[in-house]
Amino acid sequence: MAIRRGRGVAAINYPTGMNLGGDPTQALVHSTPTGNFMVTLSSVDLGQGMKQIMAQICAETIGVPTDRVVVDTADTDTGPHCMGTFASRGTHRAGNAVIQAAREARQVMLEVAAEELEVNASDLETDGQGNILVKGAPQKSISIFDVALSAHFKRGRSISGRGMFLIPRSYPEKETGAMKPSTCYAHACTVAEVEVDDETGEVTVLTVKNVFEIGRALNPKMVEQQLVGGSWMGISHALYETTEPYYPNRDHGGTDFNQYLMPGPGDLAETEIIVLERPSADGPYGAKGPGEMCANPQIPAVANAVFDAVGVRIDTLPITPERILRALKAQAAN
Amino acid sequence: MELRKSYFADVRKDDLHEIGQPRPRSDSPGHVTGKTAFFADRNFPGMLHLKMVRSPHHHARIRSIDTSEAEKHPGVVRVLTAKDVPHNVNTILILIQIGPEDETVLADGKVRWKGEAVVAVLAETERAAQEAAAKVKVDYEVLPAVFDMEEALKPGAPLVNEYHGQNYYLYDSGECRKVRFGDVEAGFAGADHILEQSYQSSPIEHAPTETTGCVVTPEGNDRFTCYTNTQAMFFTLDNTSIILQMPGSKLHFVGGTVGGGFGGKVDVIVEPIAILGAKLTGRPVCFIYSREEEMQISSPRAAEKVVIKDGVMKDGRIVARKVTGYTDAGAYSRHSPYGAQKGAGHYPGPYTIPNVWIDTYCVYTNRTPSSAMRGFGVTIGDFALEVQMDKLARLIGMDPLEFRFINAYRDGDMKAHRQPTEGAALIECMQEASRAANWPVAEKFMAMSSYVKGV
């Protein structure tokens, strides 16, 4: 009886969005009288930080600092339609809608600035700090604060924009299954290293090294929080979680966190996250949806590592000590 | 976390001001100081609490329901049964024309899973609602139940759901969603090795910190405001409008920050009955799942069975792959028909294989309806595919990572569902993993690229 070590690898891709149902999201953007910007959506922030990302996307597109953008969302009286936050679609779909709305608003903003500066709008650029400058002659400039005031009280212009992003529904062809099930794909490769106690069947995940390709890390810190959490969830799925431990038998289902097990702080693997960025052609600033993908590759990587350690295949999830011991017993009997 | 900027540097402009910046999240201070408002922080004078009477049986006919003792219980304001729900039989994907309507808001004549909602009790306090729910008498005639997908698909199995007429979802393509590409039998015939393996998962829980729920208040203008943690505002509003036969203009849904979703909050279960309660009593209503309800009543990730048969050559090329996937929907569809067909669009994984045959089934059994979850239609498939890849590599005596390089898809490769590959990056992820994990592979693999040659 010994503690045995093994490692396993898995490589995956993951689709963004739900093309098989039709996939629309809308956004509205408008400026306040003093040149702050409101993004209005009905998309839901699940705690992953969608509001922050939409603010950064709007700020980048209009050319102002992120702290001048406020996101109002999840209210059906004010926000235009969004399919919902699922299918790794939030950032991709709503982000594209915000870009379109912000571009329209930016165009009006530049037109008002052009009137104030008596130049052509096409000769203007933003400095990202809240000012609009004449290209090549930056001493000739006006603040976005003053542009907004002018638009509201002098020029009678609404600095606003409408954004719509729609992936039309793809209907799978009946006989061949030809379809376009998603837009862009995120990618991952994970290597997991485990120790398996062949006396108790217990698995300890020592390290997970995850490489994720996500199009573009719009906010690297927020990407990190999602990818680390996903990696933990993948390990939990592989080794711990089930609402029906003896599926298809319905008995013994957990009803609280004492019975429904997940890895605690003492069970965390040493986690490494490496991000690659291949911008997607249709993503907001190249972003893909990594929200679901990041919890997948750890499951087979751990399963393969368990085999590498003790030479038994557990093809049923979760990979519990009971299943490992039964497999070891069967192996010894052969 | 490390950003490896050396990959794909030629197709990426790093000239942005706000994008790519690790700005602190504007909502974090609220979360860590307890100031963020969640739906359950709403409290209204006179608010009622809703509790469900649930089926103790997996499959049973309801002979009669007696609510008289419950109605007399102190604090009880109203008891709701199926006849109170205007459009009781519904299905959420009807909004995108994926029917038939197959699920009752409150059971009508039959229950099809243990835990199914039968009677709703509205009372002044949570305790009174709970106590009164225990006083509802339901007379059941227990019916044979089926839990195993293979059993459910056999002729003569107990019929789980009469609205389908058989224990699988009927697609326009027949009993399963199909993908056909190349000639899979010819591929097997020419293969050096054949490996057929079966993989199985069980349901798992989304386990959000915040359980599913909503708080509804009738407004003075004949409208209802529903504070909810749904993941999809209009999807929930529009389905509620159908179930309650109430114009959407009467409904106002307010969300906000959700305490974790993971796909578990897109089923439109709590909102319609809570709004109905508010309408019939004229009082605010809250309906919040207990942790036990979250774990055993709200939809889990479906259990899946995946059978993969591969034909592989000694040099490492996979020449044929046949996948049969079974998704255990439980007693009702919810999002499962979509998940099963999403699986059909995902197989055979990120590999270029000339001959592919895929069948994915959505199967009904007498268990808690499953539905969407993070990785919907894909996660269990990836587990099966990637364990299978490991087995194939060992079968032909090849390094598992090198085996994947040989089969990895690249830009322009035709996928089984007949879309050309675009924006591939699997090879680069594996190259970086090889370095990071000190898992060396042959130099020719490190020199590979996802790009099409000459582009």
- What digits encode the pLDDT tens for the residues A101-133? 999 999 999 999 999 999 999 999 999 999 999
Q: Which of A224, A237, A274 sits opposite B436 (nearest CB)?
A: A274
Residue A173 lies in a domain: no
In terms of domains, do A82 and A122 share one? Answer: yes
User: Mean pLDDT, to the nearest integer, of B175-187?
Assistant: 98
pTM confidence score:
0.97
Residue A191 lies in a domain: yes
Q: How far apart are CA A95 and CA A52, in angstroms?
A: 11
A296 part of contact set with chain B, CB < 8 Å:
yes
In terms of residue numbers, what domain contains A46?
Answer: 19-167
pLDDT score recorded for residue A210: 98
B254 part of contact set with chain A, CB < 8 Å:
yes
List, in order of start, the domains of chain B with CATH numbers: 48-142+207-296 (3.90.1170.50), 177-204+301-428 (3.30.365.10)
Q: Which of A8, A249, A273 sits opposite B390 (nearest CB)?
A: A8
CA A98 centroid distance within chain = 16
Which three-class secondary structure state does DSSP give residue B248? helix
Give Cβ neighbours of residue A222 (< 8 Å, ≥ 6 apart): A48, A49, A52, A53, B22, B25
Do the beta carbons of residue B367 and residue B331 sit within 8 Å?
A: yes
In terms of domains, do A147 and A277 share one? Answer: no
Return the number of CB contacts < 8 Å for A and B. Answer: 409
For residue B259, list chain A residues with Cβ-Cβ distance below 8 A.
47
In terms of domains, do A47 and A9 share one? Answer: no
Instruction: Scan for tokens 């729900």, then name that residue.
Output: B85
Residue B455: band (very low, low, confident or very high) from pLDDT cuts 50, 70, 90: very low
- In chain A, which residues have pLDDT < 70? none
Residue A12, exposed/middle/buried by CB under 10 A (0-12, 13-18, 19+)? buried
Pick the last residue of a domain from A167, A197, A221.
Answer: A167
Are B18 and A60 within 8 A, CB to CB?
yes
In terms of domains, do A137 and A215 share one? Answer: no
In terms of domains, do A141 and A280 share one? Answer: no
- Cα–Cα separations (whole angstroms), residue A101 to A45, A95, A184, B34, B81: 19, 10, 22, 33, 46
A3 to chain B, minimum CA–CA distance in Å? 21
pLDDT at B368 over 80: yes
Quote the tokens at residue B203: 């349901």
Residue A305 lies in a domain: yes
Instruction: Give the CATH number for residue A46.
Output: 3.30.365.10
Are B417 and A172 within 8 A, CB to CB?
yes
The residue ranking higher by pLDDT, A47 or B293, is B293
In terms of domains, do A9 and A28 share one? Answer: no
The residues of A annotated as belonging to the active site are 292
Q: Please state, for a pLDDT cut of 90, what percent of chain B lies above it.
A: 98
In terms of domains, do A92 and A210 share one? Answer: no
pLDDT score recorded for residue B202: 97
In terms of domains, do A189 and A308 share one? Answer: yes
In terms of domains, do A262 and A192 share one? Answer: yes
By CA distance, what is B230's nearest residue in A? A44
Pick the last residue of a domain from A137, A167, A197.
Answer: A167
Residue A128 lies in a domain: yes
A154 to chain B, minimum CA–CA distance in Å? 30
pLDDT score recorded for residue A21: 86
Residue A53 lies in a domain: yes
In terms of domains, do A60 and A101 share one? Answer: yes
B264 part of contact set with chain A, CB < 8 Å:
no
By CA distance, what is B415's nearest residue in A? A178
The residue ranking higher by pLDDT, A265 or B343, is B343
B358 part of contact set with chain A, CB < 8 Å:
yes
Do the beta carbons of residue A40 and residue A224 sit within 8 Å?
A: no
Total tally of structural domains belonging to chain A: 2
- What digits encode the pLDDT tens for the residues B302-326? 999 999 999 999 999 999 999 999 9
Q: How far apart are CA A211 and CA B361, in angstroms?
A: 32
In terms of domains, do A93 and A230 share one? Answer: no
Long-range contacts of B8-16 (CB under 8 A, 24+ apart): B8/A276, B8/A277, B8/A278, B8/A279, B8/B425, B8/B428, B11/A278, B11/A279, B12/A216, B12/A277, B12/A278, B12/A279, B12/A286, B16/A60, B16/A285
Do the beta carbons of residue B133 and residue B140 sit within 8 Å?
A: no
- What digits encode the pLDDT tens for the residues B233-292? 999 999 999 999 999 999 999 998 899 999 999 999 999 999 999 999 999 999 999 999
B205 part of contact set with chain A, CB < 8 Å:
yes
DSSP string for residues in B360-386: EEEEE-SSPPPB--TTTTTHHHHHHHH
pLDDT score recorded for residue A1: 83
pLDDT score recorded for residue B453: 64
Residue A106 lies in a domain: yes
A211 part of contact set with chain B, CB < 8 Å:
yes
Residue A178 lies in a domain: no
In terms of domains, do A158 and A121 share one? Answer: yes
CA dihedral angle for residue B314, residue B317, residue B318, residue B320, rounded to 10 degrees: -90
User: Mean pLDDT, to the nearest integer, of B29-42?
Assistant: 94
B211 to chain A, minimum CA–CA distance in Å? 12
Pick the last residue of a domain from A116, A142, A167.
Answer: A167
For residue A238, list chain B residues with Cβ-Cβ distance below 8 A.
383
Quote the tokens at residue A45: 């922030």
Question: Among B181, B170, B432, which Cα is nearest to B319's?
Answer: B181
Residue A177 lies in a domain: no
Strands of the sheet with B304-312, listed across from one edge? B177-181, B356-364, B318-330, B304-312, B193-200
Question: Cα Rg for chain B, rounded, in angstroms?
Answer: 26
Q: Interface pTM (ipTM) of the complex?
A: 0.97
